[in-house]
Amino acid sequence: MHNSVVDRARRPPKILLTGFDPFGGERVNPSLEVARALDGVHVGAAVVVALGLPVAYAEGAAGLVRAVEMLSPVLVVGLGQSSGAAGLVLERVAVNLSDADPPDNTGAVLHDTPVIADAPTAYLSTLPLRRMLAALHGAGFPASLSNSAGSYVCNHVFFTQQHLLARRAVPGGFIHLPLLPHQAVGRPGLPSMPLDLQVAAVRHALEAAMLAP
């Protein structure tokens, strides 16, 4: 038993970084590609653990809950794809509402549906967003703050995450990412960002999030 306790103490704390499967006819999702690229990377004293989630209301939320309960992370950051984003979009608010016409990847369509019954109307991100934004801008990465993560699966999982973490006093939040260049081909006006730059930017954001207050 003593050796088990020592082993646990030696293990680095975990940063849970989630991304989503492709959806809407896409063959790739930058959020999943970025999360995978950062899996195992050390950020300060912690190590990133990547998790791919299905683009499905119930299954995505359940997968996030299982991972948090298994890993007991010190930080949780969700990533998602946002067509039209020109850089990293740091989300401020998760709302207790799922309402979108497009079906999720299981075919489910939710309208006017609470994410969690009897939960608060909304949760704020508990990441140091201003510090992260300043760090990203200082390193030359395009980034902005957003007051709405929408009402599709990204928001559904983001709200579930914040509801769970509120009881654990663990910081968490959500970042939307731009399309990859090949996703924007033939779609005039849609911005994009290469994968290597997205990976570097998210790593920079995580480093800023992990700095002591």
Can you give 64-99 as a three-state secondary structure string? HHHHHHHHCCCEEEEEEECCCCCCEEEECEEECCEC
Own/partner long-range contacts of 61-66 (Cβ < 8 Å, ≥24 apart)? 61/115, 61/156, 61/157, 61/160, 64/18, 64/157, 64/160, 64/161, 64/164, 65/160, 65/164
Q: Which of 33, 91, 156, 163 is flagged as catalytic?
A: 91
> Does the active-site annotation cover 33?
no
For residue 131, the tally of other CB atoms under 10 A from its CB is 14
Q: Helix (H, G, I), strand (E, B), or coil: what is residue 196? A: helix
Query: Catalytic residue among 154, 156, 163, 204, which?
Result: 154
C-alpha span between 135 and 131 (Å, rounded): 6
Active-site option among 33, 156, 163, 176: 176
CA 101 – CA 14 distance, rounded (Å):
36
Annotation says 69 is catalytic: no
163 as an active site residue: the answer is no
**What residues are labeled active site?**
91, 154, 176
